[in-house]
A = this chain, B = another copy of it.
Amino acid sequence: MVDVTSRRTGSRATMKDVAALAKVSLKTVSRVINEVPTVDPELVERVRKAAAQLRYQPNFGASALRRSDGRSSTIGVLLEDLSNPFSATIFRAVEEMAVSRGVSVLGGSFDEDPRREHQLTMAMSRHRVDGVIIAPASRDHQYLHEEQMAGVPFVFVDRPPHLLDADLVMSDSRAGASQAVEHLIGYGHRRIAYVGDLTTIFTAEERYNGYVDALHRAGLEVDESLVARDLRNIAAAETRAGEILDLANPPTAFFCGQNLSTIGAVRAIRARGLQHRVGLVGFDDFPLADLLDPGVTVVAQDPVTIGREAAALLFARIDGDESPSTRKIVETTFLTRGSGEIRNVVS
């Protein structure tokens, strides 16, 4: 049985304790723990036994403090919102690569708040992380230059660095958005609404630009009454999409710049029973999009690849890669499921 009365003693075995038990020097214990090959096998055995007996766990912090490379075996992954499937999938992809290297991951969410970005990156600095993967909320990243100078690599995901030289992995938002809108135009739509995220977000801006590009290329004007931006969440998107649907001259289709915007628009459309009459294409896929009626046509991003590529870049930098910074574009995939293939029969 377990002794459940004694909650804590506060003691932890150190290398010194292991050395004493194994009757070797502290330095020999250090060699064994760090798997330095030039140690007498018999001593290795003694140290291993003593370490196991004392349940010795090395102290990463103490180790990092003294070692020349200062490695903490920790990285930071700071994204928009870890409970959004896009961020969560990137996080998991990074986590897999980190675990395989024995590296732990500090996670954080910005919720589009630049102050929180500063707060969390500062925390990463204080923890002396070996590197950071970041989807920034702010639009000025000069302040991270200090960290880079101190040897901490940054890999940006989903949004590019501004006034900072750093690696980047993201989707081609503008092209993907254009493709989506052209698809709707191809189905006869001329009045296409736009519902999107905060305009401070680079990708939201790009997706709006892609929407405008496609309209212009088709000789169509942007009708401001059909444009709803700066929508932070599903509820806001639903409300604004509803208002647009209730216009005297409503749109025949929607392009939505982000997964929460899409879900909000879907709700507004369904609330009015228009889901089989109003076209819809969303940017970024989401779970169950194919199970709705109609299925939701989307420009799917590939967050697994984004996360993997970002992690691969980060660990290469941590391992000493000093080559010029990279800008990696991950392909989007157009998934037709029904909502984007509703032909306009009005005009």
The interface bits of chain A over 108-142 (1 if a CB of B lies within 8 angstroms of the residue's CB, else 0) are: 11000000100110111111100000000000001
Asked if residues A95 and B109 are in contact (CB atoms below 8 Å), the reply is yes
Asked if residues B83 and A149 are in contact (CB atoms below 8 Å), the reply is no
Contact A99/B122 with A8-B148, A106-B106, A151-B8 known, Cβ cut-off 8 Å: no
Asked if residues B119 and A107 are in contact (CB atoms below 8 Å), the reply is no
Q: Is A91 an interface residue (CB 8 A)?
A: yes
Asked if residues B88 and A83 are in contact (CB atoms below 8 Å), the reply is yes
Q: Is A37 an interface residue (CB 8 A)?
A: no
Contact segment of A56-64, A191-199, A338-346: A56-64
Q: Is A150 an interface residue (CB 8 A)?
A: yes
Q: Which of A74, A107, A119, A125 has the most CB of B within 10 A?
A: A107
* CA distance in complex: A10, B287 (Å): 44
User: How big is chain A's contact interface, by range?
Assistant: 35 or more
Contact segment of A206-214, A249-257, A263-271: A263-271
**Shortest beta-carbon distance from A292 to chain B in Å:** 6
Contact A104/B102 with A60-B128, A293-B293 known, Cβ cut-off 8 Å: no
Interfacial chain B residues near A119, Cβ < 8 Å: 99
Asked if residues B83 and A91 are in contact (CB atoms below 8 Å), the reply is yes
Interfacial chain B residues near A230, Cβ < 8 Å: none
Asked if residues B291 and A60 are in contact (CB atoms below 8 Å), the reply is no
Asked if residues B128 and A61 are in contact (CB atoms below 8 Å), the reply is yes
**Shortest beta-carbon distance from A293 to chain B in Å:** 5
* CA distance in complex: A55, B144 (Å): 11
* CA distance in complex: A11, B62 (Å): 19
Q: Which of A4, A83, A107 has the most CB of B within 10 A?
A: A83
Q: Is A337 an interface residue (CB 8 A)?
A: no
Q: Is A178 an interface residue (CB 8 A)?
A: no
Nearest opposing residue in chain B for A5, CB measure: B165
Nearest opposing residue in chain B for A152, CB measure: B8
Could you list which residues of chain A lie within 8 angstroms of chain B, going by C-beta atoms? 2-4, 6-12, 55, 57-62, 64-65, 72-74, 81-83, 85, 88-89, 91-92, 95, 99, 102, 104-109, 116, 119-120, 122-128, 142, 145-146, 148-151, 163-165, 263, 266-267, 270, 286-288, 291-293, 322
